[in-house]
Amino acid sequence: MFDYLFAPFIEFAFMQRALIGCLAISLSAAPVGVFLMLRRMSLTGDAMAHAILPGAAVGFLIAGLSIEAMTIGGIIAGCTVAFLSGAVSRLTDVGEDTSMAAFYLISLAAGVLIISVNGSQVDLLHVLFGSALALTDAALYLLAVICSITLLVLASLFRPLVVECMDSQFLQSVSRLSPVAHFSFLVLVVLNLVGGFNALGTLMSVGMMILPSAAARYWVKSLDMLLLLSCLIALTGCYAGLLVSFHVGWPTSPSIILILGGTYVMSLVAGINGSVVKKLSKPKHLSA
């Protein structure tokens, strides 16, 4: 049992690196995901994951498989889409969901075009699905930096972010932090997606944000417990996913995301808050 659960991480350096990288991204992506869910922006994560593709592709074309170049490219592309869609929705009458969908589609099409004209299938697979078992020093540092920045920004902007989600009119009436909270949060989403794509790939890294918080919602109600539980689910999912990947020989990022997905399905069926079982069971009520 000990061998099965711990030996891979003791014996193999690449497993240790994968674990550290995935733990870092769990700690930062899961809380960001909680706020995405509470703002009813869960699909925004998916849109932004597509939006960073051309930046990563251009980075790859300029500098090859360089973490730095692809990261910087991804951040630039993601932030450009976030700022453009935010600015357009504030300057015109069209909502942010529409402008974001429009800009991410343009960005995605540009990314696919750049990759298919200049790159190969293998490069595309790396960007889409990552390579958690081959994390370099540079990638690990990057994940650590992104995790630290995310936790610092979330801690310092916590109150404005909560009020922006719940009652942005009130925030606008007492301070000018409403756009600061909104755009800082979108930048965090981009940073975590870009950080995540080295380990998990652009598409799978969205799962690290959304699935833990979606699962946690069926178990706890308060915001602090949601943040705590979604981090725990993400950490456990990474650990279990890496083990399964090691022992069964499955690719890492789908293993991690499928385990998180399994946790979500189990929670929605059997959780204690508004789950399927709760809805189907005969309701009891208090006497007064």
Partner 1 sequence: MILTFDNVTLGYELHPAVHHLSLQIERGSLVALVGPNGAGKSTLLKGIIGQLTPLEGDIALHHTARSEVAYLPQQNQVDRSFPITVQEMVSLGTWNRIGAFGRLKSQHKRKVASALNKLGLQGFEKRLIGSLSGGQMQRVLFARLLMQEAELILLDEPFTGIDSRTTHDLIQLIHHWNAAGKTIISVLHDLEQIKSHFPTSLLLSRQAIAFGVTEEVLTPENMLKARELNEAFDDHADYCGEH
Establish if 175 lies at the interface with partner 1 (CB under 8 A): yes
Q: Kindly list the distances between the CA atom of residue 122 and the CA atoms of 64, 67, 88, 131, 147, in Å, as whole numbers in the listed order.
A: 13, 16, 36, 12, 28
d(CA 109, CA 83): 19
Interface with partner 1, residue 153, by CB under 8 A: no
The count of residues interacting with partner 1 (CB under 8 A) is 22
Cβ count near 160 (within 10 Å): 20
* One residue of 5, 94, 174, 270 binding partner 1 per CB under 8 A: 174
Q: Which residue has the tokens 């916590």?
A: 158
Least distance to partner 1, CB of residue 169, Å: 5
**Least separation in angstroms between CB 125 and partner 1:** 39
Cα Rg of the chain, angstroms? 20
- Cβ-in-10-Å burial (0-12, 13-18, 19+) of 157 comes to middle
CA dist 227 and 212 (Å) reads 9
Stretch near partner 1 under the rule CB under 8 A, chosen from 75-83, 129-137, 215-223, 256-264:
215-223
The reply to whether 288 sits near partner 1 by the rule CB under 8 A is no
Which residues inside 228-287 make contact with partner 1, applying CB under 8 A? none
CA distance linking residue 115 with residue 58, whole number of Å: 8
Q: Which residues contact 54 (CB under 8 A, 6 or more apart)?
A: 73, 77, 107, 108, 110, 111, 114
Per rule CB under 8 A, is residue 172 in the interface with partner 1? yes
**Minimal distance in Å, beta carbon 233 to partner 1?**
17
Could you say whether residue 223 binds partner 1 (CB under 8 A)?
A: yes
Q: Given the complex with partner 1, which of 37 and 191 has the nearer CB atom? A: 37
The amino acid at 32: V
Given candidates 169, 279, 280, 286, which one binds partner 1 under the rule CB under 8 A?
Answer: 169
Contact between 221 and partner 1 by CB under 8 A: the answer reads yes
Listed in sequence order, the residues at least 6 apart from 70 whose beta carbon sits closer than 8 Å to its beta carbon are 55, 56, 59, 60, 63, 127, 197, 198
Sign, Cα dihedral of 97, 73, 20, 187: negative
Among 20, 23, 27, 38, binds partner 1 (CB under 8 A): 38
Which of 131, 128, 122 has the alpha carbon at shortest distance from 245?
A: 131
Q: For residue 166, state whether it binds partner 1 (rule: CB under 8 A).
A: yes
Residue 65 or 157: the one with the smaller Cβ distance to partner 1 is: 157
Per rule CB under 8 A, is residue 116 in the interface with partner 1? no
Least distance (Å) from partner 1 to the CB of residue 154?
A: 13
80 forms part of the interface with partner 1 (CB under 8 A): no
The yes or no reply on residue 151 touching partner 1 (CB under 8 A) is no
CB of 213 to partner 1, least distance (A): 12
Give the nearest distance from C-beta 177 to partner 1 in angstroms. Answer: 6
Binding site for partner 1 (CB under 8 A): 38, 93, 156-157, 159-160, 162-163, 165-167, 169-170, 172-175, 177, 221-223, 226
